[in-house]
Structure 1
Amino acid sequence: MVNALSWAMTAVVLAVVVGAVLVPRVAGAAPYTVLTGSMTPTYPPGSLVVVRPSDDITVGDAVTYQLESGEPTVVTHRVVGISYDGEGQRSYTLQGDANEEPDAEPVRPEQVRGEVWYSLPWVGRLGVLFTPGQHQLLVYAAAGGFFAYAAALLWQARRDRRREKAHPAVRPAVEEESRA
């Protein structure tokens, strides 16, 4: 029972680490934490949204965008309209799922960080608790812990094989019964 619980917890932690850290880095995506309730119930506060660049943003897509171009503050809202000015420049009208009105300012394509690819509820809450340096330390510690656990399992299996070779179990009665 304890062994099964250990494996289940390990699988859950591994899945969270893979979904929150590894997949975004490999896929060129970026994780962001939802801090407000403007996208409730789709992305409640504390959700981690993983955003990847997209050139094919349509009405209905949830996107993460910079409030001001070049600034680090971002918001995740849904596209409710796409318009073009007289020069053919595209802009998006965005609105939070829980908001009654669209955002006041249209968003230019260069402000858009990407389209929401997937989300992990509650995982973003962990991200808010730690600084970026602490995040990196936790990732290294988790990876080190998994490697240490795997090394311990391999060492134990090797030790058990050596014991079996050094002290083979003698079962002559079983052998005689199987010959009869």
Structure 2
Amino acid sequence: MTAATEAWKAIGRGLSAGLLLLVLGIGVLTIGVPAVTGGVPLSILTGSMSPSLPAGSLVVVKPTPFDEVQVGDVLTYQLESGQPTLVTHRVTARVADSATGETRFITQGDANEVADAEPVRPVQIRGTVWYAVPLLGWANQFLDGSARQWLVALVAGGLLVYAGVMAVSGVRDRRRTTDAASVTEPEPVTGVGG
């Protein structure tokens, strides 16, 4: 093989390894870590938290006890207690309800001019944003539960097939190198006399 062919193969292997590591890293950040820690991956659908969390970001929300929520935290809460609609906004103040004395949070989107209409009660809180991954929220929103299951199975199968092909290719290349090295060229015969 020529040096150029070897260089292109090395570049291809490097790009393949980099892509594989990227896919695995994204999987760990968006599926593995939330599953282990009890977090929940959610999609930011609007621009109310721009520029810190633009629309299309995937956020991982970790369960946070009510008494640990601080002013400045980005809070995910139910718009109405018991309802599935969620909002992710920043806590701007901690207040006590004048009638009950219950502590509540005033929230506001970073891009919004005014605070949210209703203070957030403890029963509405789902958690605080732990970290975000830009743009992956669009993919998360696009893939519903059943589509996500077959896509994960397809990607995992594809990665396994790819790993098998790379292993077989590596073994074949080593054999060729070993076979080429074991074939010795005959030594030149030098004539005597004359």
Global fold match (TM > 0.5): yes
2:18 equivalent to 1:8: yes
**How high is the sequence identity, in percent, across the aligned residues?**
45
How far did residue 150 of structure 1 move?
2.1
1:110 corresponds to: 123
Aligned equivalents of 2:27 and 2:42: distance in 1?
A: 14
2:20 equivalent to 1:19: no
Q: What SS class does the counterpart of residue 37 from structure 1 fall into?
A: coil
Amino acid of the structure 1 residue aligned with 2:46: T
Q: Which string of whole-angstrom CA distances, capped at 9 and with x for unpartnered residues, describes residues 4-58 of structure 1?
A: 2222222222222221112111111000100000000000000000000112110
Aligned equivalents of 1:59 and 1:49: distance in 2?
A: 19
How far did residue 112 of structure 1 move?
1.0
Q: Which string of whole-angstrom CA distances, capped at 9 and with x for unpartnered residues, describes residues 62-101 of structure 1?
A: 0111101111111110000112235442211100000111
2:86 corresponds to: 74
1:34 pairs, out of 44, 51, 67, with 44
1:52 corresponds to: 62
2:143 equivalent to 1:133: no
Amino acid of the structure 1 residue aligned with 2:54: P
TM-score, normalised to structure 1, is 0.85
Aligned equivalents of 1:37 and 1:68: distance in 2?
A: 21
Aligned equivalents of 1:11 and 1:83: distance in 2?
A: 46
- Whichever of the two has the greater Rg, that structure is 2
1:89 pairs, out of 97, 102, 107, with 102
1:152 corresponds to: 165
The alignment of Structure 1 onto Structure 2 pairs a total of residues equal to 173
Aligned equivalents of 1:2 and 1:163: distance in 2?
A: 19
Aligned equivalents of 2:33 and 2:184: distance in 1?
A: 52
Q: What stretches of structure 2 of length at least 5 have no aligned partner? A: 1-10, 187-194
- The alignment's C-alpha RMSD in Å is 2.2
How far did residue 159 of structure 1 move?
4.7
TM-score, normalised to structure 2, is 0.79
1:43 pairs, out of 29, 41, 53, with 53
How far did residue 166 of structure 1 move?
7.5
Q: What stretches of structure 1 of length at least 5 have no aligned partner? A: 174-180
Amino acid of the structure 2 residue aligned with 1:135: R
Aligned equivalents of 1:81 and 1:171: distance in 2?
A: 81
Higher mean alpha-carbon deviation, 118-127 vs 81-90, is at 81-90
Aligned equivalents of 1:137 and 1:26: distance in 2?
A: 21
